[in-house]
Structure 1
Amino acid sequence: MTRRTGSADLPLHGGRVPPWLAARMAALGAVICQAIIHHYGRDEFLRRLSHPFWFQSFGAVMGMDWHSSGITTSVIGALKRGLGPLSHELGLHVCGGRGNQSRRTPAELTALGERIGFDGEALTRTSRLVAKVDSAAVQDGFDLYLHGFIVADDGKWTVVQQGMNGERRQARRYHWHSEGLDSFVEEPHAAIDGPEQGEIINLTDRRAAPSRSAQLDLLAGLGPDRIVSELARLEDPPAQGFLPHLIMPAHHDVRAKDVVLRRLHGTLAAAADRGPADFAELLLVPGVGARTVESLAMVAEVVHGAPCRFSDPARFSLAHGGKDRHPYPVPLRVYDETISVLKSAVHKARLGREEELAALKRLDDQARQLETFASGPSFDAHVARERDRSPDYDGRSVFGWEANLRGAKDRSA
Structure 2
Amino acid sequence: MSLEGVAELPLHEGSVPTWLLRIMERMSLAILRIMVEEFGPDKVVERFSNPLWFQGFNNVIGMDWDSSGSTTVLTGVLKSVTWRSPDLGLLVLGGKGGNARRVPQEVAAATRLFDLGDEKVRELEKASRLVAKVDSALFQAGYTLYHHALFLSENGVWSIVQQGMNLEKKTARRYHWKHGTSFFSDPHEAVSGTPSGKVLNIVDSRAEGLRRVLDDLVKEGLERVSSLYSQVYNSLKGQVGLTTYLAETGSGSITRVAYGDKGLLVYQPLPHPFEVHRLFKSIDVVVDGFEDLVLARGVGAKTMRALALVSHLVYDEPPGFDDRVDTPLDPFVYSYAIGGKDGVPYRVRRREAEEVVSTLEDIINRAKLGDKDKLRAFKKLRELKIRVVGKYI
TM-score, normalised on structure 1? 0.68
Residue in 2 aligned with 1:235?
A: 264
Whether 1:352 aligns to 2:381 is no
How far apart are the structure 1 equivalents of 2:121 and 2:97?
Answer: 21
How far apart are the structure 2 equivalents of 1:218 and 1:147?
Answer: 31
Flag the 1:11–1:113 CA change in 2: closer, same or farther, 3 A: same
Displacement, 1:216?
A: 4.1
Displacement, 1:20?
A: 1.1
Give 1:208-227 correspondences, 5 Å limit. Answer: 208-217=207-216, 220=221, 221-222=224-225, 223=227, 224-227=229-232
How far apart are the structure 2 equivalents of 1:148 and 1:317?
Answer: 23
Displacement, 1:364?
A: 3.0
Q: Does the Cα contact within 8 Å between 1:6 and 1:243 map onto a contact in 2?
A: no
Letter in 2 for 1:203: I
Whether 1:204 aligns to 2:203 is yes
Displacement, 1:54?
A: 1.2
Residue in 2 aligned with 1:140?
A: 141
Equivalent of residue 109 in structure 1, options 100, 107, 110:
107
Displacement, 1:314?
A: 1.6
Q: SS of the counterpart of 1:8?
A: coil
Residue in 2 aligned with 1:281?
A: none
Q: Which runs of 5+ in 1 are unaligned?
A: 247-310, 380-413
Flag the 1:339–1:320 CA change in 2: closer, same or farther, 3 A: same
Q: SS of the counterpart of 2:191?
A: strand
Residue in 2 aligned with 1:121?
A: 122
Letter in 1 for 2:264: E
Give 1:33-182 correspondences, 5 Å limit. Answer: 33-87=32-86, 89-118=87-116, 119-178=120-179, 180-181=180-181
How far apart are the structure 1 equivalents of 2:61 and 2:212?
Answer: 46
Flag the 1:41–1:319 CA change in 2: closer, same or farther, 3 A: same
How far apart are the structure 1 equivalents of 2:170 and 2:323?
Answer: 25
Displacement, 1:230?
A: 7.3
How far apart are the structure 2 equivalents of 1:243 and 1:330?
Answer: 31
Deviations 1:18-72 (A, max 9, x none): 1111111111111111111111222221121111111111111111111111111
Displacement, 1:217?
A: 4.6
Letter in 1 for 2:44: F
Whether 1:184 aligns to 2:266 is no
Deviations 1:147-169 (A, max 9, x none): 11111121111111100011100
Deviations 1:210-249 (A, max 9, x none): 1122234555445133232677757336652776445xxx
Flag the 1:344–1:230 CA change in 2: closer, same or farther, 3 A: farther
Bigger helix fraction: 1
How far apart are the structure 1 equivalents of 2:377 and 2:234?
Answer: 68
How far apart are the structure 2 equivalents of 1:15 and 1:241?
Answer: 31
How far apart are the structure 2 equivalents of 1:239 and 1:189?
Answer: 16
Letter in 1 for 2:150: F
Letter in 2 for 1:166: L
Q: Does the Cα contact within 8 Å between 2:78 and 2:92 map onto a contact in 1?
A: yes
Displacement, 1:174?
A: 0.5
Q: SS of the counterpart of 2:83?
A: helix
Displacement, 1:361?
A: 2.6
How far apart are the structure 2 equivalents of 1:362 and 1:170?
Answer: 38
Q: SS of the counterpart of 1:200?
A: strand
Flag the 1:71–1:162 CA change in 2: closer, same or farther, 3 A: same
Letter in 1 for 2:128: S
TM-score, normalised on structure 2? 0.71
Deviations 1:304-331 (A, max 9, x none): xxxxxxx232221122112222222211
Q: SS of the counterpart of 1:235?
A: strand
Q: Does the Cα contact within 8 Å between 1:6 and 1:193 map onto a contact in 2?
A: no
Identity across the alignment (%): 39
Displacement, 1:337?
A: 1.0
Residue in 2 aligned with 1:194?
A: 193
Q: Does the Cα contact within 8 Å between 2:190 and 2:325 map onto a contact in 1?
A: no
Whether 1:328 aligns to 2:314 is no
Count residues with an aligned counterpart.
Answer: 302
How far apart are the structure 1 equivalents of 2:233 and 2:370?
Answer: 69
